[in-house]
Structure 1
Amino acid sequence: MIQQTINNIGGDSNLDIVILAIWGAIFLFLAYKFVQAICLVPTKSAYVVERLGKYRCTLEAGFHILLPFIDRVAFIQDLKEETIDVPPQECFSKDEVNVEVDGVIYIEVIDSLKASYGITDYRFAAMQLAQTTTRSVIGTLDLDRTFEERDVISAKVVEVLDKAGESWGIRVHRYEIKNITPPDTVKNAMELEVNAERERRAILAKSLGDKASRINRSEGLMTEMINISEGEKQRRINSAEGKAAQIIAIAQATGDSITKIAIAIEQPGGQQALDLQLTEQYLQQMQGLSQANRKVILPANLLDFKQWLAISGIK
């Protein structure tokens, strides 16, 4: 009896421990739920709250308290702008050239409710739509234009994503194409074409430069010849004008001297003075001729100076 009583007491003690453990677990679970009901929303984030499985509200940044067991945070949306890499994909251009294109999308959540319930995964959907739109746009362009029309491709993708984003609660800011990679054969052909175009432009530039230099040289020679001829013309004009002025001045001086001589001859003793001056000049000339070893004709009477003058034709 004593042993059975002891066993009964031991069994009751174990049962109490189990019950205490259960109540402790329930208390901890309730404490966890009450702590979980305290919600701190960071800046540029939005928490979508459901009550008993139905949308209740969207919590903005700040401190919030939810009802335990009834409210729960179903979705957490990041409101900051984010980038999504679009993986490389193969596209065919209008001239049937296979190119590989990849890019990056810049999007932002503007409506947390639509981003949570409007689509399952807006990031994956935006990436897929960007790929399909890129393929369709590149299919309307030749290979050469795909490298030139990147802005057109980006604008078209942004336009399509914006229309879809209205129901997804997102805004697409821009789409940038990172790489357009053609096959190696096409790349080699393009490099040869680029090199040929560069050589053509170099030859054209060289020929144009040579043409311009020849034109400049010919124009310089023409200008030089014109300047020389104009200078020679002006020199001759100046020389002629100088000679004309000299002749006029000599003529005027000669006329004045003759006039003065005539007036002087009319004066008393003027004729004798003239004869004397002429005789003196003649003798000086005779002296010069004799010194030069030239033949001189003399009159018979060397003392008759008047006969000398008559021979010389002076008088």
Structure 2
Amino acid sequence: MDDIGTIIVWVALAVLAIFVIAAIARAIIVVQQTQAYLVERLGRYHSTMDAGLHLLVPFIDKVRAKVDLREMVYSFPPQSVITSDNLVVDIDTVIYFQVTDPKSAVYEIANYITGVEQLTTTTLRNIVGTMDLEQTLTSRDQINGQLRGVLDDATGKWGIRVNRVELKSIEPPLSIKDSMEKQMRAERDRRAAILTAEGVKQSAILTAEGEKQSAILKAEGEAQSRILKAEGEARAILQVFDAIHEGDADSKLLSYQYLQMLPEVAKANNNQMWFVPTEFTGALKAVAAGFGVTDEAEPLERDAERAKQRTSRITSALADPRAALEEARRQAEGFSAEAEQAGTGSGKPFDPDAEKGQ
């Protein structure tokens, strides 16, 4: 009997030792760095265990929940949302949030993940419901900002901080997609046409500018050429007149030049009136007299005075081509008047047909 009683005692002690060891093992808890444990004592919240080694009171303390403190990413299923222009679009959202107060996340809401999902859906519908389709497609940043603000305020009492809200996709109906593609294609064609027109316009402007510069340069060249030609003619005329007045022109030479110029004068198409004497001998004498050539020698004083006047006029004319031309015209008119006074007996203008008859 004693042996049986001893065995029972030893068995009981062994069971008790095992039970105590198991209880102590369960009471010792190691909390990870990224987690927080909520401990209840006799059914009530007692404490929050952070990272490290902790000891529970056996049979009194119990771990109520283990909360992950890292930032979590949840992608919710696409939500059907109606825009202000009565179009249904499917919006796929992604939320980045983090638990900042484990006690509130456990005791203020039954399931904070489900709560965040439902709150996101309702808030998204409220925001998109005030926008049309075009605004919804082009205002992602605005929707993200408004959604984050509303969620952050609503989830603050749950011990949750919403860091970011992103819209992964916005899918309009298929018919709207086709219309949008046609619109985009038309917009691209319009832009291409505008760019082509701008290129043609720029090309035309550059071409016109080049033609303008070419015309300006050509006109300047022609003007310069005419000026130089006029200067040369003026110098030639003045030199001829100077030679006639300064030298002793032979009447035979003047007669020969006069006969050479008659056909050219007859061919000229102008409005000037030329009076030609019927008697060439008298006409040649009149022309020679008009140029200052006479049969009788003039006094030396008169020759000196006329030479001085001609030298002064030639000097001023050479300095200015216009003055040279004016001087040439003036002398030519004077010579024509003298020739007219010494003309034919009839005193009529030169008529080529009448001259042929003579």
TM over 0.5: yes
Deviation track 1:263-287 (CA, whole Å, cap 9, x = no partner) reads xxxxxxxxxxxxxxxxxxxxxxxxx
Name the CA distance, whole Å, in 1 between partners of 2:229 and 2:15.
132
**2:301 corresponds to:** none
Q: 1:254 to 1:39 in 2, by over 3 A?
A: farther
Query: What is the aligned partner in structure 1 of residue 283 from structure 2?
Result: none
> Which residue of 1 is the match for residue 135 of structure 2?
145
SS at match of 1:87: coil
Instruction: Tell me what 1:98 maps to.
Output: 88
Q: Secondary structure at the residue paired with 1:120?
A: coil
1:1-315 → structure 2 map (5 Å cutoff): 24-238=14-228, 240=230
Deviations 1:36-95 (A, max 9, x none): 222222213211121111112212222222222222221211111110111111111111
In the TM superposition, residue 141 of structure 1 has moved relative to its aligned partner by: 0.8
Contact 1:86 1:131 in 2 (8 A): no
Q: Report the alpha carbon displacement of residue 106 of structure 1 after superposing the two structures with TM.
A: 0.2
> How far apart, in 1, do the equivalents of 2:87 and 2:24 lie?
63
CA offset digits 1:112-167 (Å, max 9, x no partner): 11112111111111111111111111111111111101111111111111111211
What amino acid is aligned across from residue 155 of structure 2 in structure 1?
G
Distance change (3 Å), C-alpha of 1:181 and 1:226: same
- Bigger shift: residues 68-77 or 164-173: 68-77
C-alpha RMSD of matched pairs (Å): 3.2
Distance 1:224 1:49, change over 3 A: same
8 A Cα contact 1:48 1:73, kept in partner:
yes
Aligned-partner residue type, residue 157 of structure 2: S
- Mapped to 1, the partners of 2:23 and 2:126 lie a distance apart of 51
Counterpart CA distance in 1 for 2:195 and 2:71 is: 49
How far apart in 2 are the matches of 1:105 and 1:59?
A: 27
Distance change >3 Å, CA 25–CA 9, structure 1 → 2: closer
Which amino acid in structure 2 is aligned with residue 220 of structure 1?
G
* Shift, 1:183, TM fit: 1.5
Counterpart contact for 1:86–1:130, Cα < 8 Å = no
| Counterpart residue number, 2:316 | none
Inter-CA distance 67–222: structure 2 relative to 1 (3 Å threshold): same
Between the aligned partners of 2:236 and 2:164, the Cα distance in structure 1 is: 92
Work out the number of aligned pairs and report it.
Answer: 252
In 2, are the aligned partners of 1:106 and 1:175 still within 8 Å (CA)?
A: yes
Range that drifts further, 69-78 or 161-170: 69-78
TM-score (norm 1): 0.70
Tell me the amino acid that sits aligned with residue 123 of structure 2.
T
Q: 1:163 to 1:243 in 2, by over 3 A?
A: same
1:229-267 CA distance string (max 9 Å, x none): 12332344455556667888x69x979xx7xx9xxxxxx
Instruction: Deviation per CA, 1:150-200: give whole Å up to 9, x if none.
Output: 111111111111111211001000100001111211111111111111112
Unaligned regions of 5+ residues in structure 2, if any?
Answer: 248-294, 298-358
* Amino acid of the structure 1 residue aligned with 2:164: R
Give identity over the alignment, percent.
Answer: 39
Change (3 A) 1:245 1:78: farther
In structure 1, the residue corresponding to 2:116 is in which secondary structure? helix
Amino acid at match of 2:208: S
Using the alignment, how far apart are the partners of 2:178 and 2:97 within structure 1?
37
CA distance in 2, matches of 1:66, 1:136: 47
How far apart, CA to CA, are the structure 2 residues paired with 1:32 and 1:238?
125
| Distance (Å, rounded) in 2 between the aligned partners of 1:82 and 1:226 | 76
